[in-house]
A and B are shown apart, each in its own frame.
Chain A
Amino acid sequence: MTAPTLPFDDLEKVYEHLAITLDALPEADESHFLAQLALALAHRVPDIDQVMAAIEEARQGATLD
């Protein structure tokens, strides 16, 4: 069984809200904020495999060159 996921429309809202929130922060605090956000979101996911999979997805995207 696949775990329920966020509908794309909501994902777009998250995208917009994050963009605005990031803009309101000093650039130097960007990665600090994003790391906190990752932990806060992970806390809300009851399945550690899902969280680890997400970390791996982001790692692959970050090394895309």
Chain B
Amino acid sequence: MRPAGRSETDSLYFDYPHFPFVRPPELEGETVRHRVAIVGAGPVGVTAALELARHGIESVVLDDKATVNDGSRAICISRHSFEILQQLGVDAPFEEKGLGWTQGRTYFRDREIYRFRMPHSDQERYYPMYNLQQQYIEQFLIDKAHASGLVEIRWQSALTDIHQDEEGVTLQVSTPEGEYRLQCDYLLAADGGRSRIRESLGLSLHGQAYEGRYVIADVRLKSDFPTERRAFFHSQALPDATILVHKQPDDIWRIDYQLGPDEDPEQAVEEASIREKVSLIIREVMHESDDWELEWWSLYKAYTLALNDYRHDRVLFIGDSAHLVPIFGVRGLNNGLADAANAGWKLAWVLKGLAPDRLLDSYSPERRGATLDVFANAGKSTRFMTPPTRGYRLMRNAALALAFHNDYASGFANPRQVTPYTYAESPLTLADDPAFEAGPVPGAPLINRRLGDDDFLLDHLGEGFSLLLFSEDGRVEPTLLRGVEALQARGVDITLLRVSRSPGDEETLVDVDGSLFAGYGAEPGSAYLARPDRHVAARWKRLDPADLEATLNAALKTALGGD
């Protein structure tokens, strides 16, 4: 919502693009068969299109709008998501525009009681978190999609019905110039929390709603306060409301505040109510005295809802269409992007004939597992942010008061920000080699390590699978090299990354300070096999060159859906 007199796209800082409707060949009576259709050109849908394009697969994206999202909405992008964006070759504008941050503060009764720091070191290319308005996120992804040549985005095209059978999926599409049928092999449903596809297939989300509503409001305000997450509990100005404050680019500040149980949500989102509360928070809680302007606001309620299965034959649900999670911990967008990367590479592998269709069966357990992991913590953090009862409020305030002087209670004030999920239980993940004492376990994403001034391990990953081979000087046993070449000759997209302790040839990645070997718990002869989405499929403390081909073949077979 925006102040009176301003339209949904009349922003103080963002020029909304207008995407024209372009007549598709189907409207001219041509029969076109698309391999992949994606419904929803939000961040999740377009990320999936870019992941498919990265593997050479074309897709068509439908969206009923003529522009990007109306408000800033999801504003926190995690490091893991940035590593996805890097693989898509679109990280540069995000890094340039986004505001990186590493820490946050918790206040109780207007006193800072706790400061949390997210894991960060000079071994990382990216900050643990970046703030960036969703319009920019969408704009940067759409720009990349337009430039890719493999993604066709059809604006002002609304899905009205869907039918699938063994042959494929047929969509009924409504446009300003008439209706048409679109046919595709697979469909990615990225059409958000109110998914029309979900409804058309007769599916519904299961889970629960939590007490308490929040207003999320953006204001333009000049302030020198650094980019951090601030949480205010029991402030003098608004004792019953939890308040969250985030800085965004363009001098935009996000203020989230909780509505009391007696407040009428309809009245709370009226402009006069928003202005009154926001003004109070800016002056009395943030202690800012400069003028401010109201930009945009929305109402939010916490849910933990998910589909029972994210795959329905030829339809994969990605992002909010599959799951709704509470905002605390910034898991909505970040998990959606991980869905897109997971579904994207698997679909590409199946369509290229490199994996059986059942590889797609692993999408649901892996990504639904990530959702259920969020749910397990969501109840706790939501009850902390928004105590549903007197008992929870009393305990929450007691924990915060103790946390001021006592470290043992500070864990309660930690916002438990999103961390990447480990696919340990996945059918694609091999059992761990017990000889390892450190490093990412099978199912976990690869960790980054610095190799030079502007040079990091993850910069060197291939498009497909990557085999990290640790050695003394970068030399690889000829039998091992032949084994990898034999795989490549069979069409397996696998990139060999040779990590060495001492400098070898030009292509060797030299571990200058030992932190790469240490981070991976590796010794010369160790190997990690990583999937296209950077998650470890298998690792060996000592990979026997003589068994390499058989060992790798078996691991790849498992990682691609098994026999």
Contact = CB atoms under 8 A, between A and B. Distances in A.
Nearest to A61: B401
B147 interface: no
B391 A61 contact: no
A37 to B, nearest CB: 12
A3 interface: no
Contact of A11 (B108, B383, B401, B408): B408
Given A15-B399, A22-B395, A27-B390, A61 B404 contact: yes
Contact of B395 (A5, A19, A57): A19
A17 B58 CA distance: 53
Contacts, number: 53
Contacts of B409: 11
A58 interface: yes
B391 A21 contact: yes
A23 B411 CA distance: 23
Interface string A14-36: 01101111111001001000000
B408 A23 contact: no
A46 to B, nearest CB: 19
B408 A5 contact: yes
B4 interface: no
B391 A22 contact: yes
Interface residues of B, number: 23
Dominant secondary structure of chain A at its interface with chain B? helix
Contacts of B111: 64
Dominant secondary structure of chain B at its interface with chain A? helix
B389 to A, nearest CB: 5
B401 A62 contact: yes
B408 A64 contact: no
A20 B387 CA distance: 12
Point out which of B380, B394, B399 has the most chain A C-beta atoms below 10 A from its C-beta: B394
Contacts of A62: 401
Given A12-B380, A61-B398, A65-B109, A18 B405 contact: no
Contacts of B390: 22-23, 27
A-B interface, 9 closest residue pairs, ranked by CB to CB distance from nearest: A61-B401, A22-B391, A23-B391, A19-B391, A19-B392, A19-B395, A23-B389, A8-B411, A61-B402
Interface of B: 108-109, 111, 380, 383, 387, 389-392, 394-395, 398-399, 401-402, 404-406, 408-409, 411-412
17 contacts: A8-B408, A11-B409, A11-B411, A12-B412, A16-B380, A19-B391, A21-B391, A22-B394, A23-B389, A23-B390, A24-B391, A27-B390, A57-B402, A57-B405, A64-B401, A64-B404, A65-B109
